[in-house]
Structure 1
Amino acid sequence: MKVNLIEPLGIEEDLIHRYGQKISELGHEFEYYNNKTDSEEEMIARAEDADILMIANNPLPYNVIKSLDKLKLINVAFTGIDHVATDIASEKGIDICNASGYSDISVAELVIGLVIDLYRQIKTGDEVVRTGGIGRAGREIRGKVVGIIGTGNIGIETAKLFSAFGAEIIGFSKSEKSEFIDIGGRYVTLDELLEKSDIVSLHIPSNDETAGFIGESELSKMKKDSILINCARGRVVDNEALANALNNGMIAGAGIDVFDMEPPIPSDYSLLAPKNTILTPHIAYLTEEAMLRRAEIAFNNTIAYLNGKPQNIVKL
């Protein structure tokens, strides 16, 4: 079989070639491209002879997948697959696997970082010092109620960290997990979570069901001194409604790593203006350690498929 990795994975190329050598030793061919492309024509050229196509978070459009007649597996070195045209992949009987789990720790740690920044005004404190001003009182995580929306692996990892800070953990999720309860979490309704939480952290996937999951109605139920953290997907929040809530003092702040588009963000984007908002350029997953874990999982997925033992296959 032919395996084509058509974009970088954020690790040293020597390591990519070592993984590729393992594929070659199994009697298969490996081809690697060390730069991204937004051109559909170029994507097709890179992938047209592939049985297994490896990508990361670069969008894989409908027309590209439709044109690939040999393709058997799309190996996504990422957790979410909303950037892949899954409808045509399903229609053509192409399997999709992902690298779920590689960024659990990195995402959870950024959530904590955003909360500490908002609570202790680290960013604004730096500016105050440099302009000769004085600081103001912040807040502590200990004793606060943290609402985790979505208790998959990342949600649970985030809950563990908040629990270590001494917070009370409540959760809302499509399916309840015993591990969440074991760490002291308590499941509640969505309304109760929004009404009681000092900190709301989102950990749900992006799909038709979750689009705009947090909108004007949900934001109106949150406490005025609460903060919202979104390190999940941009589409799960109505970001216009969030900007209005922040501007009108409906909630106290927000930490946002994901948007309605990938950075760079347009200069007129609604979330750029509100105060008490920390924005990061979709980096929750992006640590050196996570990139190494991601590559290992992705190449293990490829090798397992080549050995006739597919793993981490996503149900479409």
Structure 2
Amino acid sequence: MMIKIVEPLSIHPQALQRLMTPLQNQGYTVIAYDQAAASTDELILRCADADILVIANQPFPASVIEASKNLKMISVAFTGIDHLGGLNDIRERGITVCNAAGYSNHSVAELVLGLTLNLLRNINAANMATRTSGTIAGLIGNELRGKIVGVIGTGRIGLQTAALFQAFGCPILGYNPSIKQQGLQMGIQYKEFDQVISESDIVTLHLPLTPDTKGVLSGEKLALMKPTSLLINCARGPIVDNQALADALNKGQIAGAGIDVFDMEPPLPNDYPLLKATNALLTPHYAFATAESMVRRAEIAIGNVTAYINEKPENVIISPSPVRN
């Protein structure tokens, strides 16, 4: 059986080898690439003879799936699979798809807190003022304690984020398509979507990207937010109408935004609306990226391969199929 790790997993080569060795000792061929494919054609060549693929967040077109005739299983070293094309083909062929759910819960939640504190306390501006002979003038911010935080999407990352905000003394409102018992036990007060965004001082998004969630935070919904409120998005860029968000920031309809995800992967084009928006704190889709989380995702992703081979698949997103040697 041919197993290919078709893009870097951002861990030390020795750590990667440690994870690969048990599979190799069982007689499986495991090939790991240390650079992402430069083109779709190159990706097709890499994957064509693979039975199992381990991928990360590089866009994976449907044409690659179509050309991979031996493919039985894909382990996605990521939480979302919206970058994976050919889903209909995958389902029709009975290919198992697993993800690395949970690997970045802490890293994403911590960046949400970091963006929020930066916006509330003007940390970037204070750093610049100090370096340019400035003073405290214009830098008086706000405390996080006591602010109402609205968590839109109370899955694993949403609940971890809520727990961190609670540690800072923040009451939590929550919206989720289905109310989570764990959220209730934590003291989250569940409300309808419009109520959460209109009553919260800080709104943090933790929804997957689906046809139902694309553009869910539209200009109309942004208008419901308090003029003193902050929006944090470390989930998926297209959940928000980002042109409408830039307009809302420039008009003072909301006070600020911390955004890690966009309508495309960085680098962003020079005319992207949020680049010139007022009080927009932007990071290049790196909420998931810590040394600790990279090790966790590699362990989960390759562990998924082992579990599949042992006919006990884990973290399954799309229908499992039996192993065929």
TM-score bracket for the superposition, by shorter chain length: over 0.9
Partner of 2:242: 239
Cα separation, 1, equivalents of 2:92 and 2:59: 18
Amino acid of the structure 2 residue aligned with 1:171: G
Cα offsets for 1:248-307 (capped at 9, x unmatched): 011000000000111111111100001211100001000000001001101110001111
Correspondence for 2:144 among 141, 145, 149? 141
Which residue is equivalent to 2:132?
Answer: 131
Of the three residues 193, 197, 201, the one matched with 2:200 is 197
The match for 1:284 is: 287
Tell me the CA shift for residue 131 of structure 1: 2.0
Residue 250 (structure 1) aligns with: 253
Secondary structure at 1:262 match in 2: coil
Partner SS, residue 314 of structure 1: strand
Following the alignment from structure 1 to structure 2, what is the Cα–Cα distance between the partners of residues 2 and 305? 14
* Shift of residue 179, structure 1, vs aligned partner: 1.1
Residue in 2 that maps onto 1:259: 262
Q: Which amino acid aligns with 2:177?
A: K
CA distance in 2, matches of 1:126, 1:265: 25
Unaligned runs of 5+ in 1: none
* Per-residue Cα deviation, 1:49-96 (whole angstroms, up to 9, x for no partner): 111011000111011101111000111000000000123222322111
* 1:285-304 equivalent positions in 2, closer than 5 A: 285-304=288-307
* Superposed counterparts of 1:165-244, under 5 Å: 165-244=168-247
Paired amino acid for 1:10? S
Q: TM-score, normalised by structure 2?
A: 0.95
1:115 maps to 2:116: yes
Query: Where does structure 1 differ by over 4 angstroms across 4 or more consecutive aligned residues?
Result: none
**Residue of structure 2 in register with 1:8 after alignment:** 8
Separation in 1, partners of 2:182, 2:276: 39
2:119, 2:88 → 1: CA distance? 40
Distance 1:132 1:87 in 2: 59
Distance 1:50 1:37 in 2: 15
Q: Spell out the pairing of 1:9-48 with structure 2 (5 A cutoff).
A: 9-48=9-48
State the distance in 1 between where 2:279 and 2:24 align: 52
What is the distance in 1 between the residues matched to 2:115 and 2:106?
Answer: 14
How many Å apart are 1:175 and its aligned residue? 1.5
Distance 2:27 2:241 in 1: 49
- The one-character-per-residue Cα deviations of 1:98-146 (angstroms, maximum 9, x if unpaired) are 0000000000000000000000000011111222222321011111100
SS at match of 1:300: helix
Letter in 1 for 2:110: E
Q: 1:57 matched to which residue of 2?
A: 57
- Give the fraction of aligned pairs with identical amino acids, expressed as a percent: 49
Greater mean deviation of Cα atoms: 156-165 or 187-196:
187-196
- Work out the CA distance in 2 between the residues paired with 1:130 and 1:20: 47
Name the CA distance, whole Å, in 1 between partners of 2:310 and 2:27: 11
Q: Distance in 2 between matches of 1:81 and 1:262?
A: 15
User: 2:323 maps to which residue?
Assistant: none
Q: Distance in 2 between matches of 1:143 and 1:15?
A: 43
Q: How many residue pairs end up in the alignment? A: 316
Do the aligned residues in 1 keep the contact of 2:91 with 2:318 (CA within 8 Å)? no
Task: State which of 309, 312, 315 in structure 2 corresponds to 1:312.
Answer: 315
Could you say which residue in structure 1 is the equivalent of 2:322? none
Query: What CA RMSD, in Å, does the superposition of the two structures yield over aligned residues?
Result: 1.0
